[in-house]
Chains A and B, each alone.
Chain A
Amino acid sequence: MAYVASADSHAHHEPRSFVTRYIWSQDHKVIAIQYSLTAIAVGLVALVLSGLMRIQLGFPDTDIVDASSYYQFMTLHGMIMVIYLLTALFLGGFGNYLIPLMVGARDMVFPYLNMLSYWFYLLSVVVLMASFFVPGGPTGAGWTLYPPQAITGGTPGADWGIITMLVSLAIFIVAATAGGLNYVTTVLQARTRGMTLMRMPLTVWGIFIASIMALLAFPALFVAAVMMILDSLLGTSFFMPAVIAMGQQLPHEGGSPLLFQHLFWFFGHPEVYIVALPAFGLVSDLISTHARKNIFGYHMMVWAIVIIGGLSFFVWAHHMYVSGMNLSFGFFFAISTLIIAVPTAIKVYNWILTLWKGDIHLTVPMLFAIGFILTFVVGGLTGLFLGNVVVDIPLADTYFVVAHFHMVMGVAPILVVFGAIYHWFPKITGRMMNDTLGHLHFWITFLGTYAIYFPMHYLGILGMPRRYYAYEDYEFIPQSAHDLNTFITVMALLVGFAQVLFLWNMFWSALRGREAGPNPWNATSLEWQTPETPPKHGNWGETLPEVYRWAYDYNVPGAPRDFIPQNQPHDEPQPSDPASGHAREKPS
Chain B
Amino acid sequence: MSSWVRYDAKRGTIEPDPGRRSWSGPRDHPVLARRGLLLFLVPLSSMFALVVAAYVMRRQLGDWQPVPLPWQLWLSTALLVGSSLAFERARRAATSTASVDLRPGLLLAALLTVGFLGSQLWAWQVLLDRGYTLAGNPASSFVYLMSGLHALHLVGGLLAWLRARAALGRGEPEKARVVIRLCAVYWHFLLVVWLVLFGVLLLLA
Q: Which single member of B37, B46, B47, B51 contacts A1 (CB below 8 Å)? A: B37
Q: Which single member of B17, B37, B141 contacts A236 (CB below 8 Å)? A: B141
A7 CB-CB contact with B under 8 Å:
yes
Contacts of A586 in B (CB 8 A): 25-26
Interface members, chain B 23-58 (any A CB < 8 Å): 23, 25-27, 29-33, 35-37, 39-40, 42-44, 46-47, 50-51, 54, 57-58
A480 CB-CB contact with B under 8 Å:
no
Chain B 1-24, CB within 8 Å of chain A: the 1/0 string? 111110101111111111111110
Q: With A234-B135, A238-B58, A558-B12 as given contacts, are A220 and B32 in contact (CB-CB < 8 Å)?
A: no
Residue of B at shortest CB range from A178? B40
Tell me whether B12 and A256 are in contact (CB under 8 A): no
Tell me whether B58 and A256 are in contact (CB under 8 A): yes
Tell me whether A219 and B47 are in contact (CB under 8 A): yes
Residue of B at shortest CB range from A586? B26
Tell me whether B63 and A189 are in contact (CB under 8 A): no
Tell me whether A238 and B43 are in contact (CB under 8 A): no
B75 CB-CB contact with A under 8 Å:
no
Chain A 1-37, CB within 8 Å of chain B: the 1/0 string? 1011111110000000000000000000000000000
Residue of B at shortest CB range from A267? B50
Instruction: Looking at the assembled complex, report how far the CB atom of B152 sits from the nearest CB atom of chain A, in whole angstroms.
Output: 10
Residue of B at shortest CB range from A298? B16
Tell me whether B2 and A299 are in contact (CB under 8 A): yes
Tell me whether A184 and B29 are in contact (CB under 8 A): no
Contacts of A199 in B (CB 8 A): 15
Tell me whether A256 and B61 are in contact (CB under 8 A): yes
Instruction: Looking at the assembled complex, report how far the CB atom of B14 sits from the nearest CB atom of chain A, in whole angstroms.
Output: 5
Contacts of B195 in A (CB 8 A): none
Residue of A190, A223, A549 ringed by the most chain B CB atoms within 10 A: A223
Tell me whether B145 and A549 are in contact (CB under 8 A): no
B154 CB-CB contact with A under 8 Å:
no
Chain A 568-588, CB within 8 Å of chain B: the 1/0 string? 001110100100000001100
Contacts of B57 in A (CB 8 A): 256, 259, 262
Distance, CA A454 to CA B11, complexed state (A): 49
B163 CB-CB contact with A under 8 Å:
yes
Contacts of B117 in A (CB 8 A): none
Size of the chain B interface, CB-CB below 8 angstroms? 58
Chain A 277-319, CB within 8 Å of chain B: the 1/0 string? 0000000000000000010011110010000000000000000
Q: With A185-B35, A256-B58, A259-B57 as given contacts, are A556 and B13 in contact (CB-CB < 8 Å)?
A: yes
Chain B 155-186, CB within 8 Å of chain A: the 1/0 string? 00000100100000000000000110010000
Tell me whether B50 and A263 are in contact (CB under 8 A): yes
A422 CB-CB contact with B under 8 Å:
no
Instruction: Looking at the assembled complex, report how far the CB atom of A197 sits from the nearest CB atom of chain B, in whole angstroms.
Output: 9
Residue of A at shortest CB range from B54? A259
Residue of B at shortest CB range from A550? B15
Instruction: Looking at the assembled complex, report how far the CB atom of B110 sits from the nearest CB atom of chain A, in whole angstroms.
Output: 16
Q: Which bucket holds chain A's interface residue count?
A: 35 or more
Instruction: Looking at the assembled complex, report how far the CB atom of B7 sits from the nearest CB atom of chain A, in whole angstroms.
Output: 6
Distance, CA A6 to CA B33, complexed state (A): 11
Tell me whether B32 and A7 are in contact (CB under 8 A): yes
Residue of A at shortest CB range from B60? A256
A198 CB-CB contact with B under 8 Å:
yes
Tell me whether B23 and A193 are in contact (CB under 8 A): yes
Contacts of A251 in B (CB 8 A): 135
Distance, CA A230 to CA B134, complexed state (A): 9
Distance, CA A294 to CA B134, complexed state (A): 60
B115 CB-CB contact with A under 8 Å:
no
Chain A 553-574, CB within 8 Å of chain B: the 1/0 string? 1001111000010000011101
A194 CB-CB contact with B under 8 Å:
yes
Residue of A4, A193, A254, A262 ringed by the most chain B CB atoms within 10 A: A254
Tell me whether B149 and A189 are in contact (CB under 8 A): no
B137 CB-CB contact with A under 8 Å:
yes
Contacts of A177 in B (CB 8 A): 40, 43
Contacts of A212 in B (CB 8 A): 42
Q: Which single member of B5, B23, B47, B50 contacts A294 (CB below 8 Å)? A: B5
Contacts of B19 in A (CB 8 A): 574
Contacts of A564 in B (CB 8 A): 12-13
B138 CB-CB contact with A under 8 Å:
yes
Instruction: Looking at the assembled complex, report how far the CB atom of B30 sits from the nearest CB atom of chain A, in whole angstroms.
Output: 8
Distance, CA A549 to CA B75, complexed state (A): 59
Distance, CA A236 to CA B144, complexed state (A): 10
Interface members, chain A 203-247 (any B CB < 8 Å): 212, 215-220, 222-223, 226-227, 230, 234-238
Q: With A9-B26, A262-B57, A564-B12 as given contacts, are A254 and B182 in contact (CB-CB < 8 Å)?
A: no
Q: Which single member of A3, A191, A234 contacts B32 (CB below 8 Å)? A: A3
A461 CB-CB contact with B under 8 Å:
no
Residue of B at shortest CB range from A190? B27
Residue of B at shortest CB range from A219? B47
Contacts of A256 in B (CB 8 A): 57-58, 61
Distance, CA A553 to CA B18, complexed state (A): 12
Tell me whether A216 and B43 are in contact (CB under 8 A): yes
Instruction: Looking at the assembled complex, report how far the CB atom of B23 sits from the nearest CB atom of chain A, in whole angstroms.
Output: 5
Contacts of A442 in B (CB 8 A): none
Q: Which single member of B11, B20, B25, B182 contacts A196 (CB below 8 Å)? A: B20
Tell me whether B135 and A215 are in contact (CB under 8 A): no
Contacts of A333 in B (CB 8 A): none
A-B contact pairs, 10 of them (CB 8 A): A1-B179, A5-B32, A113-B36, A188-B35, A198-B17, A216-B42, A218-B43, A254-B63, A256-B58, A263-B50
Give 6 A-B pairs besides A216-B43, A222-B47, A299-B2 with Cβ atoms closer than 8 angstroms: A196-B21, A212-B42, A215-B46, A552-B14, A564-B13, A572-B11
The 10 A-B residue pairs whose C-beta atoms are closest, nearest first, are A3-B33, A219-B47, A8-B26, A235-B135, A219-B46, A550-B15, A236-B141, A297-B3, A215-B43, A549-B13
